[in-house]
Amino acid sequence: MYSAPHARAMHRLIASDRIEGTQVCRHDGAPLGFIERLMINKVSGQVAYAVVKAAGLPSVGEKRFPLAWEVLHYDRRRGAYLVDLTEDDIRLGPSADSGFDWGERSDVAHIRPYRPPSFWGSSI
């Protein structure tokens, strides 16, 4: 009979529902919001981007905005994803409130503050 080790093992995989709700902060620790959902490429299975709901940003409100998955870096010590964004980047970037189509990547190709990855410029 198998018994789990007492020490907590580090895994490379994580269930998406454990990522949803995880805080997103700037590198200085200032909170930007939390991950509301992940958008996954149906063909490749790769995470394309996270939908982040802003929280605690007076000039932004409760805006939902996309962040390319590769710009989020998990900090084990904080238990949060870190990203190099300013409040202005979020305020001026694409959002659900501005009519952003979560499944269409061409909408984001021209947005400069988010430095869109090549994924959004490709035809998938």
The CATH number of the domain where 25 resides is what?
2.30.30.240
Q: Which two tokens stand for residue 88?
A: 């202005």
Residue 86 lies in a domain: yes
Distance CA 15, CA 18 (A): 6
Q: What percent of the chain has pLDDT over 70?
A: 70
| Structural domain boundaries, residue 75 | 16-121
Average pLDDT over residues 35-60: 87
Amino acid residing at 12: R
Non-local (6+) Cβ contacts of 37 within 8 A are 16, 20, 50, 51
Average the pLDDT over 49-69 and give the result.
85
Determine the pLDDT at residue 117: 47
Task: Report d(CA 64, CA 96) in Å as an integer.
Answer: 6
Decide if 78 is inside a domain. yes
Q: Phi first, then psi: give them for residue 36, nearest 5 degrees.
A: -90, -40
Assess whether pLDDT exceeds 80 at residue 34.
yes
Q: Is residue 99 in some structural domain? A: yes
Residue 25: the pLDDT is 94
